Structure 1
């Protein structure tokens, strides 16, 4: 059994599920204790953040990080799933599509930037009465999902390619966790009156972690396992670092507060790291004190 603990960045290929990536990683590392910080649709590619062994405890602090996507939106047709895997339900007349000028497209993207209210795609993993929305939709049931507030800090339109019956847009989106890029494609198409759906989606960033540092999935099968990101380094990059003494580390692991230590961190939480560079856990403010919100498993030689 491989007992490594840490964070692994994987570049997910298209055509497989995020669960498939987890399953392959489990086999490669010889452990079932692996989780992820947010899935990607089967058609999507790009960055998945996996936690292995004790580092799975960190995932709760990573799932809510902002993300960056590179995508292609096709205007001129709406689909059941808001992406290319669905059935086309509506197409635009040529003259209506021609009226979707570059200027109107730019205005439509600008209107979907900032703090917006977004209705997730019907074919999403959101649970409705305990069941996944996509399962209900595939069973032919009407699914009415509630709008949610999300933040799109960048919706940049790059190359625009016009062909008979379609306009393809290459876009880059920076957004808060929980934003559906498929829904942005749908809403932009609706705003222009032509319909829209997603044809390509690639996640290139999750918080401070980028696709350039991710490992190819096929590489896990070669027998030469990649070096994992150390839990202390990952937590410090996301939450900031608090260096603690050996005695303080022991107190935190035993559930004791560090009285008067709240001024030693800038935010509400921080990664407590002992003198050996090991992540003790995540601490949070409790008045003027710091208390452990999550302790990492102790590693014994």
Structure 2
């Protein structure tokens, strides 16, 4: 039996995958390597196997953009079950405590949520990928160790209660009243939604865990541009999969500096440019996570970037023909290339 022919190599760019439940982010990357016909594939921002939704995948030179995509803020739809605490703070863990949550009302839930909105200090989940003395926290937990992580700053820009449902379940044969709470959240990079669920349960005195988690946006990439692995796999094997080209992908995350041909040539040699401040050469990103198809008002800040971070964020330098030349960083009166994509 002969092996199936290798699919043609996809062009450099970004693919937004709607990850299914049951796969790790690494599983998705492995599938995408086959679909893209190259091993140069990476992802930005791990999703747990239980979680679904937006996973930003870079192909070829687009993998160099992923460092900056990871730092963007994110939107999630989630369901928190009040009354049951688990070892992993989600539905995949063992039950460690139960409390009747039948008395909990919407007002109490909204007060607990409000206290976790804004700039907070969050103790990350013990089953996170944070390293403790050289080993991932989740590896230590699975080995039976007790792991205590230090609180770290997090920003919860939005934490909305969408719906509540009273349920009766059985835990080890014992009936229990629980309350399922559907929420929508917008959080900074490094914020753990399962830890938010845990802390809501602690505040209400009944314990809690996540029963579902769906990521709906990472920076400028939303579900509106996401495709499932089945959809990507349906592309005929003699064709490349479609990608968001480098420039289009960069416009979804960064402000844009429109270059002249002389500036594009200088950047291709790694040279610095005089900074542009509040000028017509800086375009903002399309609001609400949309992928742009043209210029937008000057000075806008891309989704996932706070206004006070604007000067420190990279800028995408776009040539007159629409290609991505470089990512720039402001240093004093100069724009300095961080990454150069166009060859000299």
TM class, shorter-length: over 0.9
**Structure 2 residue corresponding to 1:279, chosen from 315, 324, 338:** 324
CA RMSD of aligned residues (A): 1.6
- Contact 1:90 1:195 (8 Å CA) reproduced: yes
- Contact 1:57 1:296 (8 Å CA) reproduced: no
Query: Once structures 1 and 2 are overlaid, which stretch shifts more, 125-134 or 237-246?
Result: 237-246
Q: Does 1:83 align with 2:95?
A: no
| Matched length | 296
Could you tell me how far apart the structure 2 residues matched to 1:297 and 1:48 are? 26
Could you tell me how far apart the structure 1 residues matched to 2:96 and 2:335 are? 55
CA offset at residue 36 of structure 1?
Answer: 0.8
Could you tell me how far apart the structure 1 residues matched to 2:49 and 2:165 are? 25
Gaps of 5+ in 1: none
In the other structure, the counterpart of 2:214 is 202
Q: Does 1:253 align with 2:268?
A: yes
In the other structure, the counterpart of 1:18 is 25
Could you tell me how far apart the structure 2 residues matched to 1:52 and 1:262 are? 32
**Structure 1 residue corresponding to 2:232, chosen from 220, 223, 227:** 220
Query: Once structures 1 and 2 are overlaid, which stretch shifts more, 213-222 or 166-175?
Result: 213-222
CA offset at residue 69 of structure 1?
Answer: 0.3
Could you tell me how far apart the structure 1 residues matched to 2:137 and 2:151 are? 14
- Contact 2:102 2:178 (8 Å CA) reproduced: no
- Contact 2:84 2:209 (8 Å CA) reproduced: yes
Structure 1's consecutive aligned runs of 4 or more residues displaced over 6 angstroms after TM superposition are none
Could you tell me how far apart the structure 2 residues matched to 1:240 and 1:40 are? 26
In the other structure, the counterpart of 1:99 is 103
Q: Deviations over 1:50-94 (max 9, x none)?
A: 1100111111111111110001100001000000100001000x3
Could you tell me how far apart the structure 2 residues matched to 1:184 and 1:237 are? 28
Could you tell me how far apart the structure 2 residues matched to 1:181 and 1:260 are? 38
TM-score by length of 1: 0.94
- Contact 1:154 1:173 (8 Å CA) reproduced: yes
In the other structure, the counterpart of 2:58 is 51
CA offset at residue 22 of structure 1?
Answer: 0.4
- Contact 1:115 1:152 (8 Å CA) reproduced: yes
CA offset at residue 237 of structure 1?
Answer: 2.9
Could you tell me how far apart the structure 2 residues matched to 1:98 and 1:21 are? 39
Query: Once structures 1 and 2 are overlaid, which stretch shifts more, 17-26 or 216-225?
Result: 216-225
Gaps of 5+ in 2: 1-7, 169-176, 283-298, 300-309
In the other structure, the counterpart of 1:111 is 115
Query: Which structure features the higher share of helix residues?
Result: 1
